[in-house]
A and B are shown apart, each in its own frame.
Chain A
Amino acid sequence: MMNEQHITDQLWEFHLGNLSEEESQQVQLHLEVCEACLRESEVVKQAVQEMAVERSQEVPPFLFTRIQGRLESVRKPAPLWKRTLVTSLGTILLLVSIWGGVKLGTMDVRQTSGTSLENPMGNLAINEMVNEPIEGYLFDFN
């Protein structure tokens, strides 16, 4: 039976070696007679040991070189030919889309539709759009 105060609050500092000699001795004496605290002490001891292993790991060599590499990869612009190519492709794509849009917009629906007999509903929908501006029902929430 234990009458003394348990020492679980002191276990981390005890295993880190941060207690004074007197405090440390008190903890030790308690551990000799209290199984509950002893069990907990073993767990804390293992945790402290495990942390010491992790702490002792050295930073992998050439960190500065790797940092430099990262900085350069961000700072260095892409080569000129790459930038020109990307810009030209973008411009071509934009022009093609605009041209396609204009073509589609000016297309005479009635003339181009050769499927009016098989799909009269399709034509109806397109014709409605022609008569009623799209903005009219997009923004008319009320």
Chain B
Amino acid sequence: MDEKQLVIDLQAGDEKAFRHLVGKYQQQVFRTAMGFVHDGSDADDIAQEVFVEVFRSVDKFRGEASLSTWIYRMTVNRSLNRLRSRKRKGFFQRIEAFFQDDADWTGEPEADCSIHPETVVGNQEMAQALQQALESLPENQRTAFVLYHYEDMAYKEIASVMKVSLASVESLIHRARKNLQKKLMNFYKK
């Protein structure tokens, strides 16, 4: 089924077309969300939200970008929103902890609290270190990095998802890598 026909069928409310769309894009949406949230159940939740949004707003799809670019954009937005609300939740949880038990309060951002570098770095620690390093990146660097490294996307595609120039994508990925290397090296050095 070509994309144009798929969009026409979706706009007509064809359930078969919607099922086809979900089957075609579910792994990409899930994987991209994983790159941001690093949690299977959160990524699954985001995937559901994305497809519900696609279903509801496909009427407004005018084909200025490709269907996949449009879906990726939604996935990135939903994932970033999820991280922002996680951060807010974490902030309130730390305040709560502060009032419950002063000993837990470090006043440090979450990224610095839970890693104990002196322990031997196993897979679990690496996963955590990488996740925290990624989360500390500015959102545009993180988005470019995730789309490249989790989705194998070409720079040109990333540029169209992020609505930035090719040169910007290149620079964002370069800076993201440099920052990650620095953060991960610091983590190992300690």
Contacts and interface: CB of A to CB of B under 8 A. Distances in A.
* Main DSSP-derived SS at the A contact region: helix
Contact of B26 (A55, A63, A74): A63
Chain A's interface size range is 20 to 34
A71 B130 contact: no
A40 B35 contact: no
B34 A44 contact: no
A45 B5 CA distance: 43
Given A11-B181, A55-B31, A50 B40 contact: no
A103 B61 CA distance: 56
A47 interface: yes
B115 interface: no
A58 B44 contact: no
B51 interface: yes
A77 B178 CA distance: 52
B34 to A, nearest CB: 5
B26 A59 contact: yes
Interface string A53-66: 11101111001101
Contact of B181 (A40, A55, A70): A40
B170 to A, nearest CB: 12
